[in-house]
Amino acid sequence: MGHDDGRREVPVSADRFDRRAGSLFDAAMEVELDDGTAALRDEMLALLAELVATRLTDRQRQIVELYFTDGCTQAEIGERLGISQQVVSRQLFGVVRDGKRIGGAIRRLRVLCEEHGIDPERWV
């Protein structure tokens, strides 16, 4: 998607982020965990919920909750919020502009997780 200012944007692929089994966003996960791992997971879930509630924009928060918690598709979220599926995708995953990935709630959450000592490759 070209812009008048000459910048080039390309949507980011959502494939590797889509509700991966074992991620913190997998609300219905039914894997048995030992007590220590379950306690750590509960702590990470609580911290991630706090980050979603307090460190994303209102629109990003709505979209993240609908997508990962409620399991809505991007098209369903767009219909509910009165925006296009493309806007939903950009809010979730950002875009690549001039070879650099920018924006997106998932990118923001990964950065926040790293800042709080959460390994995003393991949990997000």
Count up the domains in the chain and report the number: 1
pLDDT range class, residue 11, cuts 50, 70, 90 = low
What are 51-104's pLDDT values in tens digits? Answer: 999 999 999 999 999 998 899 999 999 999 999 999 999 999 999 999 888 899
Q: Is 10 helix (H, G, I), strand (E, B) or coil?
A: strand
Q: Is residue 111 part of a domain?
A: yes
Q: Is residue 10 part of a domain?
A: no
CATH number for the domain harbouring residue 54? 1.10.10.10
Q: Is residue 20 part of a domain?
A: no
pLDDT range class, residue 123, cuts 50, 70, 90 = low
Has this prediction a pTM greater than 0.85?
Answer: no
Query: CA 21 to CA 43: how far, in whole Å?
Result: 18
Query: What is residue 65's predicted lDDT score, i.e. its pLDDT?
Result: 93
Q: Is residue 3 part of a domain?
A: no
pLDDT range class, residue 119, cuts 50, 70, 90 = confident
Q: Is residue 38 part of a domain?
A: yes
Q: Is residue 12 part of a domain?
A: no
What are 14-64's pLDDT values in tens digits? Answer: 543 444 444 444 543 555 767 877 788 788 888 888 999 999 999 999 999
Mean pLDDT for the stretch of residues 3-9: 51
Which residues share a beta bridge with 17?
none
pLDDT range class, residue 121, cuts 50, 70, 90 = confident
Q: Is residue 6 part of a domain?
A: no
Query: CA 59 to CA 65: how far, in whole Å?
Result: 10
Query: CA 115 to CA 5: how far, in whole Å?
Result: 33
Give the domain range for residue 43.
Answer: 32-123
Query: CA 97 to CA 9: how far, in whole Å?
Result: 4
Q: Is residue 99 part of a domain?
A: yes
